Amino acid sequence: MPAKRKRVGAAKGGGRPVKKAAPKRPAREPTPLEEPHEEVASDTGDPTEVAKVDSGWSMIEHNYLFDLVKHKLKQEKRQLKVPDFGSIADQMDIVFGGKTIQEGDAIAVTKFKNGVQIPVVAGSEFPYKVRTANSLHSYAMHINRPNRSIYDQLYKELKARNFEDSDDEEEEVDGEDDDGYEEY
């Protein structure tokens, strides 16, 4: 019968090191749930009431993005992917780069108060953000975003027309058009 092999280091604690538990962090005070850059005009139920924010997408920027998306869908004749938004990001930067959103400009978010939708405007002047291809793709196409329905509707309408304009639509993307905004 062969001799038993002795485990090396087992007698003197030379086995696998034991991890020590990390020290516990002190408990933090819970912070109230609030949006720090947002204010609602009043609680009076005034029909002219507006919500004011200090960041976000302007309606001009939102509408221009979806005009560019529509134009790109007509070019590509397929669903758009992140790399397709590179040229859209470049065009957005040309038009909005270095500009500011003025106090009172319409903002492209939906706010509700007491079950009633209220308009949202810029509460102060702030700069347009530089939007990357990835952020534009997420804004327009992310499944859990309300803008996805706008993209899906555009795609469905263009696909039904074989990605061609109808006679009553303009091809113009740059410059002023009927939506009430113009190139900066």
3-state secondary structure of 124: coil
C-beta of residue 51 within 8 angstroms of C-beta of residue 120: yes
pLDDT above 50: residue 42:
no
Residue 35, amino acid: E
Give me the percent of the chain exceeding a pLDDT of 70: 63
pLDDT above 90: residue 16:
no
Residues 135-156 pLDDT 10s: 999 988 887 777 888 888 888 9
**Strand-pair category, 51-53 with 111-113:** unpaired
C-beta of residue 137 within 8 angstroms of C-beta of residue 80: yes
pLDDT above 80: residue 165:
no
pLDDT band at 93 (very low <50, low <70, confident <90, very high): very high
pLDDT band at 61 (very low <50, low <70, confident <90, very high): very high
